[in-house]
Amino acid sequence: MPTMPDAAPINLSKQRFVALDALRGIAALCVMLHHAEQFYGHPGVFAHAYLAVDFFFMLSGFVISDVYAPRFAADLKLTRFMVARIKRLWPTLAIGVTLGALLALAHGHQPIIILIDLVAGLSFMPILRGGAGLFILDGVEWSLFFELVANLVHRLGLWRFSNRLLLFLSVASLCGLFTISAYNFGIGVGDRGVSFIAGFIRVAFPYLIGMLLQRMWQRGSRRLVVPVFIPIVALPASFVLASIIGPSFAWIGEPMIVALLFPVIIWLGACAKMPPRYTQLSLLGGALSYPIYTIHLPLIGAGDFVARLVSPPFGIMARFVALAACIGGAWLIARYVENAAVTRRA
């Protein structure tokens, strides 16, 4: 999503949220496969997995509320909060943006344009260029930008709003989501200059619902202990469902999936009981999710670039190596970059 996608680091001391780590990892893998299908010319079951971004937005609303609402009430300063969010996102993003710059150089793009895009990418500054992406070097950064906007609004006062007001805003933003979906034949918008405004509508609804879900959770409302495989299977199944619906009904199907299925999946994930033997695997999925999301586009692009220079059998191999590099690179980043950053903050 993503984001997505990154939410705040999920509170691993709370075992009830371990399944959300697994879901975050699955969502990141689905986004990677979605872009692999696009680059490699075989759109299929992951054609609509860009909806994972909306899942990340909703998860962010849930987790930011859980982690930071008490700190906001204790007067955590806006600047300190936003600095913490940017510090969480920036090191891994910088790697993705740098990889994108190297790929752009390999394609022979003008160095001055690459430099401008590099500075914009490293500073979270979108560039509105019509049908081009907001962030050319690492296209997924658009969702991180809108998540930071949502985080900013959250701290500025959204956290003070009553449940009734949040529900009203959710309904209003859902109407907006249906509007942009009807106009664009789906909600896969917000990543380009022409749909920049739609990005604010796209992040609003899932983020607000995530906040409401967390407040319901905090009250202990209707918690159900369910097998963890239910939300884990349901998330990728929702992306497959979106593909089955097809383009003719995507304008109504995609908002309905976000509005009806994603809240249930997050709720069941928060309630799910994770068998101890799968806990470490789930935590690994959460740790790899953000690096996978951030570096996969330039690496997949590099695989496609090499594949076009060699014979078809070697081209297939290059593309598979690129996908493997996304996983391996994410593991290295999680271990040596993100883990080191957490250690320094501690």
pLDDT at 181 over 60: yes
Lowest-confidence range among 16-20, 218-222, 281-285, 310-314?
A: 218-222
- Residue 49 pLDDT: 95
Name the residue with tokens 């007001």.
165
- Residue 345 pLDDT: 52
Residue 51: closest CA among 190, 192, 171, 211: 190
Q: What is the DSSP string of 309-329?
A: TS-HHHHHHHHHHHHHHHHHH
- Residue 1 pLDDT: 40
- Residue 212 pLDDT: 97
Residue range 230-243: average pLDDT? Answer: 95
190-202 as b/e: b if 16+ CB within 10 A: bbbeebbebbebb
User: CB of 180 within 8 A of CB of 189?
Assistant: yes
- Residue 341 pLDDT: 55
- Residue 344 pLDDT: 53
Q: How far is CA 232 from CA 57, 139, 183, in A?
A: 18, 26, 32
- Residue 11 pLDDT: 44
**Residue 208 CB-density burial (10 A; 0-12 exposed, 13-18 middle, 19+ buried):** buried
Q: Say what the alpha-carbon torsion angle 102, 103, 106, 108 is, to the nearest 10 degrees.
A: -100
Q: What does DSSP assign to residue 10?
A: P
Residue range 304-317: average pLDDT? Answer: 95
Q: How far is CA 228 from CA 189, 236, 252, in A?
A: 31, 14, 29
pLDDT at 191 over 60: yes
- Residue 44 pLDDT: 83
User: CB of 115 within 8 A of CB of 32?
Assistant: no
Residue type at 181? S
